[in-house]
Structure 1
Amino acid sequence: MPIEDTSEFVLALENAGELKRVKTQVDSELEVAEILRRVMYSNGPAVLFENVKGFDIPILGNAFGSVKRLQIGLGMENFEEIGQRIVEMTKMDIPSGILGKLKKLPELSKMGEIFPKLEDDGPVTEVVEKSPSFSSLPILKTWHKDAGRFITLGLVATRHPDTGVRNLGVYRMQILDETHALMHWQKHKRGAHHHDIQKEKGGKIEAAVIIGADPATVFSAIAPVPEGLDKYLFAGITRKKGIRTVKCRTVDLEVPANAEIVLEGYVDPSDIRGEGPFGDHTGYYTPVEPYPTFILTGIMRRKKPIYVTTVVGKPVLEDAYVGKVIERSFLPLIRMFHPEVVDFAMPASGWFQGMAIISIKKRYPGQAKKVMMGLWGTGQLALTKIFIVVDEDINVHDINDVIWAITTRMDAARDVTIINNTPTDTLDPASPLVNLGSKLGIDATQKTAEEGFAREIQEKVMVDDGTKHLVDSRWKEYGI
């Protein structure tokens, strides 16, 4: 059975030895963040702070900070299962005739189980605050030069103004006062797109910020799902069971019934202010930039909620592990559109948008560049700065193997592609302009005569089968 809420996740992590409780009083301003960073940099556990200065709400951090924790939370060993389920759904035949439909009933009924289910109330509706204020929550200040306190793991729910498709995105929020915060949804994100559409209609867009949900819903909010796919449905696909939702009290949006806290409100496109600085996952402070204001209109929460947060900074921190799940889960979708792709990796030290490595089964000249161009035109991969394409014999998860391929199969003049004036991640500290920069493609595949390689391809050094078998069979005798 999938994990249903944050409390259940905490217990599962604790039983697996993946969580520590801290009973010493801690300060949500700087202290908690520094503890979490030190724990993550040393590959430590999730941490539940039970005694937070000035608050009666505990703080949970680093909950997704290891592969094991994500396996526990998502209930699976192999994250590729998620993408494979979507691929299988796209290939499902629609039966014709009564007999065909009867045969498909078991399969179709399973699909129905993954859809969200609207209910009248749930744990998150236990308390409805009549005078909502951000000050009631232990929101962190994470770096000393940050502009203030920031919500860092709020799942921001919006709805497409035309199609009604629901979205969840994780956008940081800088707290300004009791009821105002800045919504840092970058230009390329879906929440910002919804905001722009509503702005053109002359209105404000409603939003709900979910803090603490079941792990599959948290993952769904972060994951760059295909355009038009409802994020609540994606959560159901991920956990193989639909989530329960409830209506907000002050805005017309649905939120997970098992959430810990929900902040209701709207984003005002006419109220633009300077957001930042903020110490981000690039390892640099994001400078002050203009973003719209979120106005808080209501809070729903559990009687005893848990405030779930994350801290970012120079990799590798908690977000790296969530990125690894995204990498693995979306590989089947990448292969669906690019069948030659064997494997795909986004090194954590490249903060994921910075670099990706792709191995392919090469069949024709120029195929590496074809894959690069295709991926640069695919969803959030459009923001990836560097693509490195290697042959199928290279392990994309072994950076030493990748470097070997680059230095032995790549000629700089022939195999480096630079494309100027392309979309870049808003957070990229190196791009000459915000949201606009260049791409680098490195073709580190073995070149053929068709690609102008006039030399004889040198043979790779490999141990012969006889010697390998001999040493394998006598290995224990050597006492090494």
Structure 2
Amino acid sequence: MSAPQSMGQFVNDLEKRGWLRRIAEEVDPFLEVTALCDPVMKAGGPALLFEKTKGGGRPIAINLFGSRQRMAAALGVERLEDVAARIRAMMEMEIPDGLWAKVRSALPKLKQLAAFKPKEVKNASCQEVILEGARASLDILPILTCWPGDAGPFITLPQVITADPQTGRQNIGMYRMQKFGPQTTGMHWHRHKGGAAHLAKARALGQKLPVAVALGGPPATTYAACAPLPEAVDELMFSGFLLESPLRVTKAVSCDLLVPAEAEAVIEGYVDPAEPMRVEGPFGDHTGFYSLEDKYPVFHVTHITHRKDFIYPATIVGRPPMEDFYLGLATERIFLPLLQAVLPEVVDYHMPAEGVFHNLVFVAIDKQYPGHAFKVMNALWGTGQMMFAKVLVIVDKHVNVQDPQEAWWEALNHIDPQRDVLFTRGPADALDHAAQLPWLHSKMGLDGTRKTADEGFHRPWPERVEMTPEVQKKALDKLKKWGLA
């Protein structure tokens, strides 16, 4: 099994497996697509390809990543854990004696990473058609207005590409883009994001910031745009790692930014940091509530390039579970080895759909000493995007945190609220509407582990109620024979 090299290939692969449904009847990007897709997503339904959109617009592909199986197929694996296994294998190495021996042992790993450097090509599918000036209009895209309270149409599945004005190092992020007009959008750059950092540097240098927005391409690159990569890891190289071959890229027609050569379309332009910011939003967000209007930079379109017969990729977000849950699930599974490299006591973790990524995280640990759960809480709040986690629930290693019902049952049985709840303060996700301040909130950690005498607990700790495995197996066989299991 290999990862799809383009969105068209991914669509075809899903259709062959019976995981995609083509819809021939015309649909309206204004609210109707969301009304059609929301119940399909919540029911765990298939990917959808709307072949006709109102006004003669391009086809829309949606819910391509909307299941564990489709998310794995997007990355060319049977299970998401297979990607984690590749990362773990690259990280594991013997620790030999002597500094030079350590360096030599690391070289094969570094060479393996270097093998995924993007491959630049001149003839790119994404530039079969080149539009500029007045012809480079966003009106050619069937951009969705998702919810009744949205401020307008939003591009919801973009790969926004910028480069550090000083180093030239590129960043790709997934930031929603409100369409203001045929050639302007909002650029929803939160202050913690890479694009916002590049804009700040451009402002200090007194120059405009070139921007390219890729739509579609290899599904691995779409995923890489929303993955919480360490700053030193390039999204294009990470895409190559996921593809297990260098990502084909080409230079944008209006600037030096490298874009995925197999993208369906690329929107090119700039953000001028000297220009006043503009009110963007509201937008029906992944929290299930509208994120409120605020001021954000304005993106100006100068060129649009695309395949001759391109498909417009989109997603909708709202009350979970939605398609974005599976993009988050991929991150959870793939990045477990990196988290364990920092915190080896972590056995597993899970971000349930109801927690919308940043509101709730269950963590199972191999508890070794008094206060170990609190140590893990503080460490997680200081690690990458875990700094946004509002509630952390720490449980013992035998607890299956992939089952929130089991995790809550175990944790709530094991806590004494006065003893086992930790409050602290730290950065808030911009979409946390309940935060005390727009970028700052309190956080809560629950120590749901078994307590020990070293922690001042001297009562007997009870065991779980469980049936003898042999008896249970025989009983299950009888239930199956009777048609009751």
Give TM class, smaller chain.
over 0.9
3-state SS of paired residue (1:210): strand
* Matches of 2:88 and 2:164, distance apart in 1: 24
Query: Residues 56-82 of structure 1, C-alpha deviation per residue, up to 9 Å, x if partnerless?
Result: 411111111111111221111222333
Q: Structure 1 residues 342, 109: CA separation in 2 closer, same or farther (over 3 Å shift)?
A: closer
Q: CA deviation at 1:107?
A: 7.3
For residue 417 of structure 1, what is the amino acid of its counterpart?
L
What is the CA–CA distance in structure 2 between the aligned matches of 1:392 and 1:113, rounded to whole Å?
37
TM-score (norm 2): 0.93
1:94 Cα deviation (Å)? 12
Three-state SS of the structure 1 residue aligned to 2:297 is strand
User: Match of 2:377?
Assistant: 372
Separation in 2 of the partners of 1:463 and 1:253?
61
Residue type of the partner of 2:77?
M
**Is 2:186–2:278's contact at 8 Å kept on the other side of the alignment?**
yes
Whole-Å separation in 2 of the counterparts to 1:464 and 1:84: 33
Output the CA distance in 2 between the equivalents of 1:49 and 1:433.
41
Q: 5 Å matches for 1:149-188?
A: 149-188=153-192
1:324 to 329, 336, 347: 329
Q: Does 1:358 align with 2:363?
A: yes
- Residues 264-343 of structure 1: pairs in structure 2 closer than 5 A: 264-269=268-273, 270-343=275-348
Conserved 8 A contact 1:82-1:237: no
Hey, what's the Cα distance between the residues in 2 that align with 1:38 and 1:129?
37
The aligned residue for residue 55 of structure 1 is 56
Q: CA deviation at 1:467?
A: 3.7
Say if 1:323 and 1:348, in contact at 8 Å, map to a contact too. no
> 2:299 is paired with a residue of what secondary structure?
strand
- Between the aligned partners of 2:469 and 2:37, the Cα distance in structure 1 is 49
What percent identity do the matched residue pairs reach? 43
Q: Distance in 2 between matches of 1:176 and 1:441?
A: 41
Paired position in structure 1 for 2:220:
216
Amino acid at match of 2:280: E
* Code of the aligned partner of 1:192: A
Shift of 1:165: 2.5
1:449-473: CA deviation from partner (whole Å, max 9, x where unpaired): 1111121222333334564465467
Distance 2:114 2:74 in 1: 22
The answer for the alignment partner of 1:429 in structure 2 is: 433
Contact 1:358 1:387 survives alignment (8 Å): yes
Partner of 1:147: 151
> In 1, distance between residues paired with 2:390 and 2:429?
8
- Taking the aligned partners of 2:110 and 2:204, their CA distance within structure 1 comes to 39
Quote the Cα distance in structure 1 between the aligned partners of 2:483 and 2:137. 67
CA drift of 1:474 comes to 6.0
Question: After the TM superposition, which of the residue ranges 200-209 and 168-177 deviates more from structure 2?
Answer: 200-209
* TM-superposed deviation, 1:417: 0.7
Q: Tell me the distance in 1 between the aligned counterparts of 2:291 and 2:52.
A: 31
Q: 1:246 — aligned with what?
A: 250
For the residue of structure 2 that corresponds to 1:167, the secondary structure is strand
**Please, which moves more after superposition, 461-470 or 206-215?**
461-470
Is the aligned partner of 1:79 residue 2:80? yes
Question: Does the Cα contact within 8 Å between 1:274 and 1:288 map onto a contact in 2?
Answer: yes
Q: Match for 1:198: what amino acid? A: A
1:106 CA displacement? 8.4
- Does 2:133 align with 1:128? no
Distance 1:147 1:476 in 2: 55
The 8 Å contact of residues 55 and 137 in structure 1, kept in 2 or not, is answered as no
> Could you say what secondary structure the match of 1:271 adopts?
coil
CA distance in 2, matches of 1:447, 1:94: 35
Q: Secondary structure in 1 aligned to 2:196?
A: helix
TM-superposed deviation, 1:85: 3.2
**Paired residue type of 1:57:** R
Matched residue SS, 1:43: coil
Residue 339 of structure 1 deviates from its aligned partner by: 0.5
How many equivalent residue pairs? 477
Contact kept, 8 Å, 1:87 with 1:336, in 2: the verdict is no
Q: Structure 2 CA distance, aligned partners of 1:403 and 1:195? A: 42
Please report the TM-score for the alignment, with normalisation by the length of structure 1: 0.94
Please identify, of 349-358 and 460-469, the stretch whose mean Cα deviation from structure 2 is larger: 460-469
Distance 2:191 2:420 in 1: 32
- Range with bigger deviation, 447-456 or 383-392: 447-456
Mapped contact 1:47–1:61 kept (Cα < 8 A): yes
1:43 aligns with 2:82: no
Q: Does 1:200 align with 2:198?
A: no
Please name the residue that 2:238 is paired with. 234
For the Cα contact (< 8 Å) 2:93–2:105, is it kept in 1? no
Q: Which runs of 5+ in 2 are unaligned?
A: none
AA of the residue aligned to 2:35: E
Correspondence for 2:21: 20
Which stretch of the first structure deviates more once superposed, 190-199 or 278-287?
A: 190-199
**What CA deviation, in whole Å up to 9, does each residue of 1:130-156 have, x standing for no partner?**
231111211111111111110010110
Structure 1 residues not aligned, in runs of 5+? none
Q: CA deviation at 1:479?
A: 6.2
